[in-house]
Amino acid sequence: MSLPAAFETLGPLGEDAGKSGRLRLRLERRAGQTVVTDQYWTLPLQVMPPSYQDGDDEAYIYLLNPTGGIVQGDRLETEIVLGPGARGVASTPAATKVYRTEASYAAEWSRYELHGDAVLECLPDQTIPFAGARLFRSTRVDLDPDSTLILWDLLAAGRVARGERFGFERLFVEVEIRASGERRLLDRLELAPADGPLDRLGLWDAYACYGSLYAHSPRLDAGLAAALAELLESREGVWAGASRSWPSPGSSVTPPKTSRRSSTTPGICCAALSWASRRIGSGSSDGRCGPWLPAATAGSSRSACPASAPT
């Protein structure tokens, strides 16, 4: 996609600032287990060898940025491909920090490809933009109809404890999901405090963390959106809602924003989204992967958490 106009005016990213990091990873199912069959990375991106939980065949992979965060001029590209039958979880060991950008911005592109009945859970920790930060982030997923995707994106309003709530310059986040080459979902979020207060009703209001959960699977239960809304609404101070945008097989679901107000950390909202993601993958309370119920869907759920935690 082309850059938003606000980023175009800053000019192209060159080699004079920041680093160009690339990460390529391919997962295949071999002898009953998901293994890495190809990998390549350059700093500031890095990947850890996969681990396996309780003898499960699903590969758990940590994606790292050992330089401490994203800085001005960084150009980061991640590509993860899963073959038929492969099952993987991609996460980060800590929050991603985006530092002040004096004259330019930082950019991050992620591309995921799922083939056959592959399953990918992409569950990174939250992104914390520091005061003066500018970040462009684009995520695209191309999958087959039988593939299962669980993807979330968590944004903090800044280092709230340091008085930097909405101190960033500009954030642009895009998520696109395509099934069999056909676009199923396109979600774009652009935030710039200079364009108007972000704490007004209908945007972030009094909250400091914002999250979106996206899912696509032929095994998605038609009642998942309602179950997620019920879970969040049952907690004190939570505003939540969920719905399906298209009920037919192979379509999208789009549960709207959910919000939480309390003195606890964003971990509570993350736990709720985690519950939903594990239920999509397993259909059982213990989180083990297995068959879910029919009706192919794709979708997103959003949540906002209280202004208490990011430091």
pLDDT in tens, 107-162: 999 999 999 999 999 999 999 999 999 999 999 999 999 999 988 888 999 998 89
Q: pLDDT-derived band of residue 38, with 50, 70 and 90 as boundaries?
A: very high
Q: pLDDT-derived band of residue 263, with 50, 70 and 90 as boundaries?
A: very low
Q: Which domain holds residue 206?
A: 5-11+18-306
Q: How far apart are CA 127 and CA 81, in angstroms?
A: 23
In a domain, 133, yes or no: yes
Contact (CB, 8 A) for 180 and 145: yes
| Number of separate domains in the chain | 1
Give the residue among 166, 228, 216, 144 at the shortest CA–CA distance from 187.
216
In a domain, 183, yes or no: yes
Contact (CB, 8 A) for 293 and 219: yes
Amino acid, single-letter form, for residue 163? G
Greater pLDDT, 261 or 205:
205
Q: How many CA atoms lie within 13 A of 283 on its CB side?
A: 13
pLDDT in tens, 56-106: 899 999 999 999 899 999 999 999 999 999 999 999 999 999 999 988 999
pLDDT at residue 277, rounded to an integer: 59
In a domain, 65, yes or no: yes
Contact (CB, 8 A) for 20 and 106: no
100-109, 203-212, 228-237: the lowest-pLDDT one: 228-237
Share the mean pLDDT of the chain.
Answer: 79
Average pLDDT estimate for 273-290:
49
Q: How many CB atoms lie within 10 A of CB 2?
A: 6
Q: Is the pLDDT of residue 290 over 80?
A: no
| Whole-number percent of the chain with pLDDT over 70 | 73
HEC string for 134-147 = EEEEEEEEEECCCC
Q: How far apart are CA 193 and CA 140, in angstroms?
A: 26
Instruction: Find tokens 């083939």 and name the residue.
Output: 115
Contact (CB, 8 A) for 171 and 204: no
In a domain, 86, yes or no: yes
180-184, 210-214, 298-302: the lowest-pLDDT one: 298-302
Q: How far apart are CA 77 and CA 91, in angstroms?
A: 16
Q: Is the pLDDT of residue 267 over 60?
A: no
Contact (CB, 8 A) for 273 and 235: no
The CA-CA-CA angle for residues 169, 265, 288, to 5°, reads 110
Give the residue among 24, 80, 79, 28 at the shortest CA–CA distance from 57.
28
Q: How far apart are CA 246 and CA 255, in angstroms?
A: 11
10-14, 261-265, 280-284: the lowest-pLDDT one: 261-265
In a domain, 311, yes or no: no
| pTM for this entry | 0.84
pLDDT at residue 261, rounded to an integer: 42
